[in-house]
């Protein structure tokens, strides 16, 4: 008998459930295995950082949101007050690493090739090549991508999403996994607000809908406004 309407029409036979060997099911298991082994390596990274007394930040954004400029300007302000080291993630080139090198802090470049995110194993290799000094900060620039970097724990203490006012206000709604994973949001390029149609309060409302306790900094890395609050917060986190 049909349980929906109570009639006695025989129900059409249900398609057989997908066997465990189906392509989809194998893919799901592969993904779960991949994330589990990543999480194990991330835990080792976290331990290593903890023992060294280093705070790590994982900076994520879409390409062009200004991560590298934010890093360079942050380093300029922190330099001489605490040890800073950088891991640069990009699919290709050493261009961003060269910009960081010019500031004088130790940096290692990881090229992911076809890969679209950093994983904990790559970050571990980076850690092996950097001096990790007590009461220091490690800044990790992830590959520009708002999708899968959200799923990969690197062993960092904070996930920072950099969101610029030249993007759409609705990014938090379109990429909720990223905006849920990040405990810190940097709204960058605020100096351009007079020239673009970007509703700051709407964008931040969307971000808080996805993650109510997100810590927000509104700044312009190129022009310098708002940088003090961000750098002060970072200093306080390193001392904590
Ligand atoms: Mg960059
Ligand atoms: Zn990816």
> Among all ligands shown, which has an atom nearest to the Cα of 118?
2
Spacing, Cα 163 to ligand 1 middle (Å): 13
Instruction: Please tell me the distance between residue 65's alpha carbon and the centre of ligand 2 in angstroms.
Output: 18
pLDDT number for residue 14: 64
pLDDT tens for each residue of the chain, 240 residues long: 344 455 555 555 666 666 667 777 777 888 888 889 999 999 999 999 999 999 999 999 999 999 999 999 999 999 999 999 999 999 999 999 999 999 999 999 999 999 999 999 999 999 999 999 999 999 999 999 999 999 999 999 999 999 999 999 999 999 999 999 999 999 999 999 999 999 999 999 999 999 999 999 999 999 999 999 999 999 999 988
* Cα–ligand 2 centroid distance for 25 (angstroms): 20
Query: DSSP letters of the chain?
Result: --TTT---PPPPPPPPPPPTTSHHHHHHHHHHHHHHHHHHHHHHHHHHHHHHTEEEEEEE-STTSSHHHHHHHHHHHHTTTS-EEEEEEESS-SHHHHHHHTTTS-EEEEE-TT--S--HHHHHHHHHTS---TTEEEEEE--S-SSGGGG---S-SEEEEEEETTS-TTHHHHSHHHHHH-SEEEEE-GGGGGGS---HHHHHHHHHHH-TT-EEEE--TTT-TTHHHHHHHHHHHHH-
For ligand 1, the distance from its centroid to the CA atom of residue 28, given in whole angstroms, is: 31
The rounded Å distance from CA 63 to ligand 1 centre is 7
CATH class given for the domain over 23-239: alpha beta
The ligand with the least distance to the CA atom of 145 is 2
- What's the CA-to-centroid distance between 217 and ligand 2, angstroms? 26
Ligand 1 centre to CA of 68 (Å) is: 4
């Amino acid at each position: 008998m049909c349980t929906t309407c109570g009639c006695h029409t025989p129900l059409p036979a249900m398609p057989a459930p997908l066997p465990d060997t189906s392509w989809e099911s194998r893919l799901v298991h592969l993904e779960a295995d991949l994330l589990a082994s990543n999480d194990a390596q991330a835990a080792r990274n976290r331990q290593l950082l903890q023992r060294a007394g280093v705070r790590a930040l994982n900076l994520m954004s879409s390409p062009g949101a200004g991560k590298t400029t934010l890093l360079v300007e942050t380093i300029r302000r922190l330099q001489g007050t605490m040890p800073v080291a950088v891991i640069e993630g990009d699919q290709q080139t050493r261009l961003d690493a060269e910009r960081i090198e010019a500031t004088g802090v130790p940096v290692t470049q990881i090229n992911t090739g076809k890969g679209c995110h950093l994983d904990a194993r790559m970050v571990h290799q980076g850690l092996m090549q950097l001096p990790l000094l007590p009461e220091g900060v490690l800044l990790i620039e992830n590959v520009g991508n708002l999708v899968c970097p959200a799923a990969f724990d690197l062993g960092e203490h904070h996930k920072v999403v950099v969101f610029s006012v030249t993007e759409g206000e609705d990014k938090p709604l379109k990429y909720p996994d990223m905006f849920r994973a990040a405990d810190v949001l940097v709204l960058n390029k605020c100096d351009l607000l007079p020239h673009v149609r970007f509703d700051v309060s709407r964008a931040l409302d969307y971000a808080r809908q996805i993650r109510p306790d997100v810590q927000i900094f509104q700044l312009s890395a190129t022009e310098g406004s708002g940088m003090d609050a961000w750098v002060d917060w970072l200093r306080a986190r390193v001392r904590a």
